[in-house]
Amino acid sequence: MKYYIIAGEASGDLHGSNLVKKLKEQDIQADIRCWGGDKMQEAGAVLVKHYRDLAFMGFVEVIKHLGTIFKNISFCKSDIKAYKPDVLVLIDYPGFNLRIAKWAKLQGIKTVYYISPQVWAWKENRVKTIKECVDKMLVILPFEVDFYKKWNYPVIYTGHPLVEVVQQEKNEVPIDSLSDRPIIALLPGSRKQEIQVKLPLMLEVVDDFPEYQFIVAQAPSLPNELFENIIGDKKVLLAKSQTYNLLKQAKAGLITSGTATLETALFGLPQVVCYKGNAFSFWLATKLVKVKYISLVNLIMDKMVVKELIQNDLNKSNLILELKKILQESPSLQSLRNDYAQLWSKLGDKPASATAAAEIIKIAQQ
């Protein structure tokens, strides 16, 4: 069977790579072409375009790059048409992927969406497009099943792919220590734009915690110079392609909102969630987005488990205050650990990638 997979960011590349491995296990003749990143390529897919050329954050940034986005969409359609896949697999990345889904429907191409767009947060009317154009929706958050049920659209909960990834990582023999001092992990994101905004703010607290070693998780797709220019002469280390090793060894973390907040929680690491974006984009988001929280941990648990510092609240004094809270033993820290344990329970232990692969193969064979 021929599979064409589209992922547009780092988390999609991670989940896509595990999906590629399971597709190849379950279909030994699998021929896979993809948009994604290094991980999907290493797993055995032919990489057409890297996500670093696709990731634009926020309303303003998207508008600035509309020309590039439309060129990418046009090229993608041509490439799919030439490849003639048995099934098209879309991983999150809704602005791009839903356009491709609409087009694919007109071409008679079977489509599976793995990892639903966050239509429960905003643009709920996108569900209409999904119902019309997507043959099967595979979701990874437990509450999404009920959300789609109210739209009379049956979906399949595969389990969350991070559960199996983190569980496997926890079973690995630890890598050599990154530091002889207790570590505070800084995860500023995987996109150049977000790193340039958030990392300087995170670094402002370094001198206030001299007994700790601050280590920045560096996304493998980004150059050393980007981080080195921001870090300057601060005594901060870079850990390239070692995010999980860092999370296993750290005492606490300052974590950019997104998939990383869930990864951090699954490793049991106390964290402060950080978000700051373009002022206009953020203002517009407050008018459109309907969720109470920005971190996946809080969304899944439906309560404030981890502290979120958003926009103007993301500043030096608040970072110092919240970091001190999670670095010392206290009843609130024990409560956090209990919530983290409940999070594992809520997500369940289904083998997400294998489950998704089986459903995709079913559709391809129909």
Tokens matching residue 255: 């974590």
Burial of residue 116, with CB atoms counted within 10 A of its CB: 0-12 exposed, 13-18 middle, 19 or more buried: buried
Whether pLDDT at 62 is above 90: no
Flag whether pLDDT at 57 surpasses 80. no
Per-residue pLDDT, 271: 98
Instruction: Tell me the average pLDDT across 234-239.
Output: 94
* 30-39, 200-209, 215-224, 225-234: the lowest-pLDDT one: 215-224
- Kindly state the average pLDDT of the residues 242-257: 95
Angle between helices 331-347 and 316-327 (to 10 degrees): 90
Query: What would the mean pLDDT of 68-88 be, rounded to a whole number?
Result: 93
- C-alpha span between 334 and 332 (Å, rounded): 5
Q: Given the structure tokens 């490849």, which residue do they identify? A: 83
**Is the pLDDT confidence value at 349 over 70?**
yes
Q: What is the 3-state secondary structure (H, E, C) of the chain?
A: CEEEEEECCHHHHHHHHHHHHHHHHHCCCCEEEEEECHHHHHCCCEEEEEHHHCCCCHHHHHHHCHHHHHHHHHHHHHHHHHHCCCEEEEECCHHHHHHHHHHHHHHCCCEEEECCCCCCCCCCCHHHHHHHHCCEEEECCCHHHHHHHCCCCCCEECCCHHHHHHHHHHHCCCCCCCCCCCEEEEECCCCHHHHHHHHHHHHCCHHHCCCCEEEEEECCCCCHHHHHHHHCCCCEEEEECCHHHHHHHCCEEEEECCHHHHHHHHCCCCEEEEECCCHHHHHHHHHHCCCCCCCHHHHHHCCCCCEEEEHHHCCHHHHHHHHHHHHCCCHHHHHHHHHHHHHHHHHCCCCHHHHHHHHHHHHHHC
Q: What is the signed CA dihedral for 145, 148, 150, 154, rounded to 10 degrees?
A: -80
Look at residue 56 in the predicted model and tell me its pLDDT: 53
Distance CA 283, CA 40 (A): 35
Which tokens hold the place of 37? 């990143």
pLDDT at 347 over 80: yes
Q: Span 85-113, mean pLDDT?
A: 96
pLDDT value of residue 40: 97
Number of alpha carbons in the 13 Å side-chain half-sphere of residue 153: 19
Inform me whether the pLDDT recorded for 15 exceeds 80: yes
Place of tokens 């996304």: 219
pLDDT tens, residue by residue, 282-319 = 555 555 566 688 899 999 999 999 999 999 999 999 99
Report how far residue 20's alpha carbon sits from residue 3's, in angstroms, rounded to the nearest whole number: 9
From the number of C-beta atoms within 10 Å of its C-beta (0-12, 13-18, 19+), residue 193 rates as middle
Query: Strand order of the sheet with strand 136-139?
Result: 46-50, 31-36, 2-7, 87-91, 111-114, 136-139, 156-157
Backbone angles phi, psi at 37, to 5 degrees: -155, -165
Bridge-partner residues for 215, per DSSP? Answer: 185, 237
**Residue 59 in this model has a pLDDT that exceeds 60:** no
- Mean pLDDT across the chain, nearest whole number? 91
Place of tokens 């601050």: 214
**pLDDT-based confidence at residue 122 (cuts at 50, 70, 90):** confident
pLDDT at 177: 85
Q: Which of 54-63, 80-89, 130-139 has the lowest mean pLDDT?
A: 54-63
Better pLDDT: 194 or 215:
215
Q: What pLDDT is stored for residue 192 in this prediction? A: 85
Could you give the CA distance from residue 110 to residue 85 in angstroms, rounded to a whole number? Answer: 9
* 16 and 35 Cβ atoms separated by less than 8 Å: no
Share of the chain above pLDDT 90, in %: 75
Residue 217's φ and ψ, nearest 5 degrees, are -80, 115
Q: Check residue 288 and give its pLDDT.
A: 55
Question: Domains in the chain, ordered, with CATH?
Answer: 2-159+350-365 (3.40.50.2000), 168-347 (3.40.50.2000)
* pTM (2 d.p.): 0.84
Q: Which of 124, 159, 141, 114 is nearest to 300 (CA)?
A: 141
Q: Specify the range with the lowest mean pLDDT, choosing from 80-89, 175-184, 204-213, 255-264.
A: 175-184
Task: Average the pLDDT over 96-117 and give the result.
Answer: 96
Q: What is the pLDDT of residue 220?
A: 77
pLDDT value at residue 9:
86
- pLDDT more than 70, % of the chain: 92
Mean pLDDT for the stretch of residues 112-137: 92
Looking at residue 71, its pLDDT comes to: 87
Rounded-to-integer distance, Cα 27 and Cα 33, Å: 15
What is the average pLDDT across 18-40? 97
pLDDT category, 322, cuts 50, 70, 90? very high
Which has the minimum average pLDDT: 94-103, 171-180, 226-235, 316-325?
171-180
